[in-house]
């Protein structure tokens, strides 16, 4: 069988996976009312051959939103919608994690409750970033972000509670795991990065303080599910939405040590070359991460089956997450098993719409 290591089982925290081909979180903007339904259940169940499906980023609260048509997990109706999705995935033999999301400053007043300002570690606008909004005339489209307000220190316990409640709902909905989204220049990474965090309280300044919120969120979520069912997504060195960081390596070393001590299930690293262009993570960086973190290491970033097999064979990672290949190939694992050609995704149908470009891609059979 080709790609013997990539297609082999994997113990990831408290969960055993059938293979190491993971479905990466993919925003598809197909829940106009923020409630997943039958269309999402069909979409994810089609991809249940993945060792683990990581859901699209899911807002933990009304103020966490930065884009319309994205799902949430703060109401009973949303929880019930996700339960329908998870039941479909489990019936098809798959396992699924819910990614917990707060966009922070990558938002606009038009998608915030009562038109209020987005929140962030500091009142610094995400320069060059857009969010997907619905205009007054009913149309939708891209719009530059609003200037956020800085979270008050006294508000942070409530934010952590939002994460805890989201994890509690995820557990009730039947998810096997949750993933804390601390990557891609959203709220938790905004706290981690020097360029977006100019606070002078216990959540700003040095590496320990800037990491504090993420670690407190992980502790709260782990208290609900157990650390063995919690993962964290990180994107060191990434520069999008105006994010900049003077100390990415120091932060990664500290987080790897601290999250390793907490014995969470996995770290999911979104690489800086996730589009296939730009810098790549060095083997030295990967080895250092491996030495510091004893859990599962997942890498995501323009991986082929061959590249993932080589990564696992070298002992530098344990699994690879696939994004765009999973959009167009619901049977991606079977295609790897047969060493078959892949369908090409249609970028015109990535975001918004219905079944077209979502549940209608062909399988080998």
Q: Which residues are catalytic?
A: 186
**Other C-beta atoms lying within 10 Å of the C-beta of residue 279:** 11
Side-chain-side CA neighbours of 256 within 13 Å: the count stands at 22
């Amino acid at each position: 069988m080709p790609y013997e290591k990539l297609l082999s089982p994997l113990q990831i925290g408290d969960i055993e996976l059938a293979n190491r081909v993971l479905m990466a979180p993919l925003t598809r903007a197909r829940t106009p009312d923020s409630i997943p339904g039958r269309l999402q259940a069909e979409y994810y169940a089609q991809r249940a051959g993945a060792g683990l499906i990581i859901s699209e980023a899911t807002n933990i609260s009304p103020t966490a939103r930065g884009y319309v048509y994205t799902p949430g997990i703060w109401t009973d109706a949303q929880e019930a919608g996700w339960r329908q999705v998870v039941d479909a995935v489990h019936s098809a033999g798959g396992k699924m994690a819910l990614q917990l999301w707060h966009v922070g400053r990558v938002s606009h007043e038009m998608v915030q409750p009562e038109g209020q300002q987005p929140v962030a570690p500091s009142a610094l606008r995400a320069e060059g970033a857009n969010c997907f909004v619905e205009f007054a005339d009913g149309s939708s489209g891209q719009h530059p972000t609003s200037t956020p307000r800085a979270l008050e220190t006294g508000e942070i316990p409530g934010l952590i509670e939002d994460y805890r409640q989201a994890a509690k709902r995820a557990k009730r909905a039947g998810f096997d795991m949750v993933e804390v989204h601390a990557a891609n220049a959203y709220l938790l990474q905004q706290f981690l990065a020097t360029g977006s965090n100019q606070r002078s309280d216990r959540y700003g300044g040095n590496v320990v303080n800037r990491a504090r919120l993420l670690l407190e969120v992980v502790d709260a979520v782990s208290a609900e599910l157990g650390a063995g069912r919690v993962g964290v997504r990180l994107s060191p060195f990434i520069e999008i939405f105006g994010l900049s960081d003077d100390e990415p390596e120091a932060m990664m070393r500290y987080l790897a040590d601290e999250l390793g001590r907490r014995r969470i299930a996995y770290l999911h690293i979104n690489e800086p070359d996730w589009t296939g262009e730009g810098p790549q993570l060095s083997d030295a960086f990967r080895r250092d991460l491996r030495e510091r973190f004893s859990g599962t290491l997942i890498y995501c970033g323009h991986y082929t089956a061959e590249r993932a097999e080589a990564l696992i064979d070298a002992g530098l990672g344990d699994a690879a997450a696939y994004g765009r290949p999973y959009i167009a190939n619901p049977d991606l694992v079977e295609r790897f098993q047969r060493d078959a050609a892949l369908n090409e995704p249609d970028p015109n149908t990535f975001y918004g719409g219905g079944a077209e470009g979502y549940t209608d891609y062909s399988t080998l059979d």
